[in-house]
Chain A
Amino acid sequence: MMARAGYYTTGAALAILFLFPLLWSGYASVSTESGFGLENYGRLFTSDNGIRPYHVVNSVLVCLITVGGTLLISTLGGYAFGRFRFPGRDLLFLVTLAILMVPYATILIALYVLLGWMGLQDSLLGLGLVLIMFQLPFSIFMMRNSFEAVPKELEESALIDGCNSFGVLTRVMLHAVRPGLITVGLFAFLTSWNEFFAPLILLNSTDQFTLTLAVVNMRTATFGSIDYAALEAGVMFMAVPCVLLFLFLQRSYVRGFMSGALKG
């Protein structure tokens, strides 16, 4: 009995600690000089440097490109790494993981140069492709392990039915690795929605800017003062869609992790 009470007290205390910053930010974003209201959000949308509808559109487009591309590539790649042996397999896998080990600041200059050559500078597509690259270590790792965790029998029964490997992938495997796919998609969304440094460097014109750029731009609009309340409103505006999606997909991504997807 005591142990149980102790467990829940500790658990609750820790939960409050972890929820506190978000709750405070929500509170700060609606508290004004005269009580509560949406004035801070008003400034967020109406000030000179504030958020405009096209920022949201651009962010959504980048998210679509990144999530779609990451899902496609990591599904095929995860299938390859999890189910096939081919020349260069281990090398490619290690090189993909090595993406985690490169300092962002320098490689972005090289990427900027590269996108210029490809005619993709200042484009959401180019930004999306770069973000897909940065998502690959996590996604390939996750999908490889998801595919490895699928029982061989499932696949063999489909092969006996006369499917080729692609048929097996689309008819049987995709369903089996769905939790992994949702996890990969969710994290691709979170990254692309929240990314600040890559769009800053890779996008040149105002009408291509994403939400994060608008929010950070507000921070420094006037040198010498920070509109903290509007800043927290911006943080909330960025965070709420993510939090909702998170809660909505919770069952799936927990299963995605659980399906042995992140074993070493």
Chain B
Amino acid sequence: MTVTSSRSRRAGWVGAAYAAPTALIVGVFFIVPLLLVGWMSLHDWPLLGLPEINAPENFTAMADNELIADAAWFTVKYTVIITVLLFAVAFGLALLVQHQRRGVGLLRTAFFLPVAVGFASASLLFLGLLSQEIGPFKTDEYISWTSGSPSLALGSAVVLVLWRFAGFNMLIMLTGLQAIPTELYEAARIDGATRFQIFRRITVPLMRPTIALVLTLMIAGSLLAFDQFWILTRGGPDNSTTSLVMVIYREAFIRLDLGAAAALSVVLLGVLVVFNVIQFGVLRSRRGA
């Protein structure tokens, strides 16, 4: 054995020791509950009393649940809308504030400030803001902004999410933008490239890792959307804004069917993991190319 390998092995144990607290917290508070959820999904799991194995009934029963199909469709639709809009707005804001100039600090602060408001607080804030009682958008003809029609309800939730999360994503993209060496831009400009060409040939390719991170966060967040609908629209009107996590909530806490709720969670987790593996693979192959 060489000297280096024994040293690196020792360094390995030191590293593992530093990672131990992380492993402990993740193991106890994430892996164990996760295994429990997986275990529950195979059972008819009463609140009290003896669970009975009924696999795969909790999974097959999903097919008969109309609410799940509607919620899955809505959740996908919502995820597409939010990802496209939030990405466009956040990227736009990042481009707007990427260069140092007078007043740009104020703009960054203004866009980022909503992040300081918790999501539950933000939802409560919008509940008042969009109400006909005290909100500034009071109309002569009565309109409920949060449940008047499916598109109004969805629109309200989208505006809330854009407001609350655009700044955070803007900052991440700003990080990516500023990591691009200025020499590259200058060289391109000397070569006579137009603004659009620079954006397409330099900014976007070099931003790819950041874009991937932002998209992952947005997609995972949207597929797991709950608070904004729970507080603002209650999933209505006519179940038009019922997300998958709301169905999980309903199975667990309204129908008291923990097995069904766990099964649905397992499926949703599976979809997210598969999705991320694919995205990871695509990115890696592009990087390699």
Min distance, Cβ B158 to any Cβ of chain A, angstroms: 14
CA distance A24 to B93 in the complex (A): 22
B111 lies within 8 A of chain A by Cβ: yes
B86 lies within 8 A of chain A by Cβ: no
The dominant DSSP class at the A interface is helix
Contact (Cβ within 8 A) A77 B210: no
Q: Which of B62-70, B130-138, B147-155, B185-193 contacts A (4 or more CB under 8 A)?
A: B130-138
A216 lies within 8 A of chain B by Cβ: yes
Q: Please, how many residues of chain B have a CB less than 8 angstroms from a CB on the other chain? A: 93
In the complex, which residues of chain B have a beta carbon less than 8 angstroms from the beta carbon of A257?
A: 171-172, 174-175
In the complex, which residues of chain B have a beta carbon less than 8 angstroms from the beta carbon of A250?
A: 109
B26 lies within 8 A of chain A by Cβ: yes
Q: Which of A41-49, A97-105, A150-158 contacts B (4 or more CB under 8 A)?
A: A97-105
Contact (Cβ within 8 A) A89 B110: no
In the complex, which residues of chain A have a beta carbon less than 8 angstroms from the beta carbon of B258?
A: 109
Q: Name A18's contact: one of B167, B179, B213 (CB within 8 Å).
A: B167
The dominant DSSP class at the B interface is helix
Min distance, Cβ B182 to any Cβ of chain A, angstroms: 15
Contact (Cβ within 8 A) B272 A246: no
Given contacts A106-B252, A228-B131, contact A73 B25 (CB under 8 A): yes
Contact (Cβ within 8 A) B117 A22: yes
In the complex, which residues of chain B have a beta carbon less than 8 angstroms from the beta carbon of A25?
A: 125, 128-129
Contact (Cβ within 8 A) B248 A239: no
Q: Which 10 A-B pairs have the closest CB atoms?
A: A194-B118, A84-B15, A264-B209, A110-B33, A77-B22, A80-B18, A15-B110, A86-B15, A80-B19, A196-B120
Which B residues fall within an 8 A CB radius of A?
A: 8, 11-23, 25-26, 28-34, 36-37, 40, 93, 96-97, 103-104, 106-121, 124-129, 131, 133-134, 136, 163, 166-167, 171-172, 174-176, 178-179, 208-210, 212-213, 217, 220-221, 224, 226-227, 244-245, 248-249, 252-253, 258, 261-262, 265, 268-269, 272-273, 276
